[in-house]
A and B are shown apart, each in its own frame.
Chain A
């Protein structure tokens, strides 16, 4: 099969935009108004454009893909040829992305992920819309057939089953009201860090004009409040555009999600490849009894992980609904989390106090040697160490169930991760020198999930040394149980 013919102009334009910028900026600066040089730049630009066009046409002509019963074969490469064969049983995710332009042209980009290597294993830019949907569906169907042959001999799919599979069963749909709510409740901290980066630049500018007392101070505070509000609205808008029309379906053994206002994304998450399930609640969500659900497969490589939590199975729903949905995906027990020992809380109090005192000392040093700042106003904040420690302590816990380990962490954003024993890769006990003083150890349950890099592993933080040892032994036995049970 060939790519869609329209992929040639689209690829030329998308590649050309970057080059065009370089030429316009660089070329004009280089020519400096000289007519000979300017025409030279134009000639080079035309040559480059022709080269890009020739390359893309050749790419299109030499690109071929084929879906067989057992694999997806891709033949590609203009100068060096590559034949790639992806066994369907190893496919983790199949994503269909349609950008705004692609939607107008009726084409789509297909990405196929396996657990191997970094990056996307197969990237088809672009195929026709119907072809993309067909490919996604065909891969699912054939993989399911292969799995069935593997596990239960030759059992033919009955007509009824096939019927049920085609449309799938809608598990969750984000209503417009919930979408607005989600935008409002999910504040992206990455935006705030951007503002913090600008603060040192803006501070002297404002400081020169405004006296830091009386109305001037009020002005600065008002500015900060407006800034935060604007940030919040921007973050909400970004989320709303990203998750517009979110729908989660279960098709056979796959989860299918689609979302997006301008760029539509349609992805599959095979349930048989599920690594962990995580329920996440940030401060605002917890206050109003909402939560979001994230599932994790091994497909996305570290660098290529789609940002903004596209692997989120449910962006926002009432807490109970999220848990019951999570249970349909991974049938875990009714857990009762065991908190770290009481002395861990004392440790947190000291830690936060130490941080506060360091800030205080730094403030004092600045006041003494550089410029006068009211460093002592931070002092009352030290009292916050106690509630903060209680909060950190109260949000950390773990529980070992019959088939799953559950671990909870998070100060602002609480993450409850459920790890099936048969997905655990290694067990790691970590003890820093600070923990050693208190006889505390953390236990990490490492899985092949790709979110672990960005969102952290399932980890039982600050357990008693003996409890940690016991935990590892029990978990290890459970891992072997889960793996060899079928024999």
Chain B
């Protein structure tokens, strides 16, 4: 089983920080606008910010611990989720296309993510975030190769839909 690169936690932490900041700011303004609340807006906003941040940080670490994946012989296996544990099996023959993505912060940290697309309605796109850039390219290349290889030689059965 392969784990994500530990630096992905930085990206997630940053995301939860931004989210908490926005929520805190909204609460601060909301409390400031309503006269009837006796609490100081800064205290309310700051409290919300701190609580959300604490939950966010805890979630990031648990999430990192829960995340793992494996490139198997004929399927891609992914396990993730804190509150809801989700284990997905994607047969390569079902893969429509594979993306390698690198956002600005990911690029700064030398990371990348791989997104696998199937024709399914629920698990239509399965993404593996936080891989070392080189590994992300590897995984994409491997998956692409395996997807082509697994195509049945004849018949319509391999046709996804």
Residues of A within 8 A of B (CB): 92, 115, 147, 150-151, 272-273, 275, 298, 302, 422, 425-433, 436, 444, 446-450, 452-453, 457, 472, 476, 479-480, 482-487
User: Contact check: which of A151, A430, A484 meets B85 at CB < 8 Å?
Assistant: A430
Query: Which A residues are in CB contact (< 8 Å) with B161?
Result: 92, 115, 273, 275, 298, 448
Q: Does B6 contact A (CB under 8 A)?
A: no
CB of B84 within 8 A of CB of A452, answer no
Q: Is the CB of A448 within 8 A of B160?
A: yes
Docked-complex contact A433 and B157, CB < 8 angstroms: no
8 nearest A-B residue pairs (beta carbon):
A425-B120, A486-B155, A452-B121, A446-B120, A298-B161, A448-B119, A426-B123, A429-B87
In the docked arrangement, what's the CA distance between A244 and B87, Å? 45
Query: When the two chains form their complex, are residues A457 and B75 in contact, meaning their CB atoms are under 8 A apart?
Result: no
Is B83 an interface residue when CB atoms closer than 8 A count as contact? yes
Q: How far is the CB of A88 from chain B (nearest CB, A)?
A: 14
A483 contacts B152, C-beta separation under 8 Å: yes
Complex alpha-carbon distance, A68 and B116, angstroms: 34
Give chain A nearest CB distance to B155 CB in angstroms: 4
In the complex the two chains form, is A457's CB within 8 Å of B155's CB?
no
Which residues of the partner chain A approach B156 to less than 8 Å between Cβ atoms? 147, 150-151, 272
Q: How far is the CB of A420 from chain B (nearest CB, A)?
A: 10
When chains A and B are docked, how far (Å) is the Cα of A334 from the Cα of B121?
Answer: 27
Q: Confirm or deny: B58 has a beta carbon within 8 angstroms of a beta carbon on chain A.
A: no
| CB <8 Å contact, A472 and B74 | no
- Name 9 A/B residue pairs within 8 A (Cβ), A-sorted: A92-B161, A275-B161, A425-B118, A431-B84, A432-B84, A457-B121, A486-B154, A486-B157, A487-B152
Q: Is B126 an interface position by the 8 A CB rule?
A: yes
Task: Give the docked Cα–Cα distance between A455 and B14 (Å).
Answer: 36
Q: Tell me the minimal C-beta distance from A484 to chain B in angstroms.
A: 5
Chain A proximity mask over B74-88: 1 for CB below 8 Å, otherwise 0: 110000000111111
Cα of A402 to Cα of B123 in the assembled complex, Å: 25
Query: SS class of chain B's interface: helix, strand, loop or mixed?
Result: loop
* CA gap between A486 and B119 in the complex, in Å: 22
Q: Which of B22-30, B90-98, B129-137 contacts A (4 or more CB under 8 A)?
A: B90-98
Interchain CA distance A432-B154 in the complex, whole Å? 41
A426 and B126 contact, CB distance less than 8 A: yes
* Residues in chain A near residue B86, CB distance under 8 A: 428-431
Q: Is the CB of A115 within 8 A of B119?
A: yes
* Residues of the B chain whose Cβ atoms lie less than 8 Å from the Cβ of A150: 156
The answer to whether residues A448 and B84 also contact, given A426-B126, A480-B74 and a CB cut-off of 8 A, is no
Q: How far apart sit A151 and B153, CA to CA, in the bound complex (Å)?
A: 12
Q: Give A291 to B112 CA distance when docked, in angstroms.
A: 50
Q: Does B110 contact A (CB under 8 A)?
A: no
B122 beta carbon closer than 8 Å to chain A = yes
A101 CB to nearest B CB, Å? 35
Within 8 A of A (CB), among B42-98: 74-75, 83-91, 93-94
| A446 to chain B: closest residue by CB | B120
In the complex, whether B158 has a CB less than 8 A from a CB of chain A is: yes
With a CB–CB cut-off of 8 A, which chain B residues contact A486?
Answer: 152, 154-155, 157
CB neighbours of A433 from chain B (8 A): 83-84
CB distance from A301 to the nearest CB of B (A): 10
Question: Which chain B residues lie closer than 8 Å to A151 at the CB level?
Answer: 155-156
Chain B residues within 8 Å of A425, by CB: 90, 94, 118-120, 123, 160
**Contact in complex: B157, A452 (CB < 8 Å):** no
- Determine the chain A residues whose CB is within 8 A of the CB of B126 once the complex forms: 426
- Give Cα A444–Cα B121 distance, bound, in whole angstroms: 11
A426–B157 touching, CB < 8 Å: no
Chain A residue at smallest Cβ distance from B160: A448
Q: Which of A115, A147, A446, A482 contacts B122 (CB 8 A)?
A: A446
Kindly name the residue among B83, B119, B123 whose own CB sees the greatest number of chain A CB atoms within 10 A: B119
Shortest CB-to-CB span from A366 to chain B, Å, is 20
Write the chain A residue with the least CB distance to B126.
A426
Q: Are A436 and B121 neighbours in the complex by a CB distance under 8 Å?
A: no
How far apart sit A428 and B118, CA to CA, in the bound complex (Å)? Answer: 13
Nearest CB of B to A424, in Å: 8
Query: Knowing that A92-B161, A273-B161 are A-B contacts, what are 17 other residue pairs whose CB atoms are under 8 Å apart, sorted by A's residue number?
Result: A115-B161, A272-B156, A275-B161, A302-B121, A427-B88, A429-B88, A446-B118, A448-B120, A476-B75, A476-B89, A480-B93, A482-B157, A483-B91, A484-B152, A486-B157, A487-B153, A487-B154
Contact for A432 among B83, B87, B157, CB less than 8 A:
B83
Residue of A nearest to B82 (CB): A433
The docked-state distance in angstroms from the alpha carbon of A432 to that of B83 is 6
Q: Which residues of B contact A448 (CB under 8 A)?
A: 119-121, 160-161
Q: How distant is the Cα of A486 from the Cα of B89 in the complex, in angstroms?
A: 23
Most central of B83, B89, B152 by chain A CB within 10 Å: B89
Which residues of chain A are near B118, meaning CB under 8 Å? 425-426, 446
Residues of A within 8 A of B87 (CB): 428-430, 472
Given the complex of chains A and B, what is the CA–CA distance between A476 and B89 in angstroms?
A: 8
B153: nearest chain-A partner, CB-CB: A487
**A426 pairs with B93, CB closer than 8 A:** no
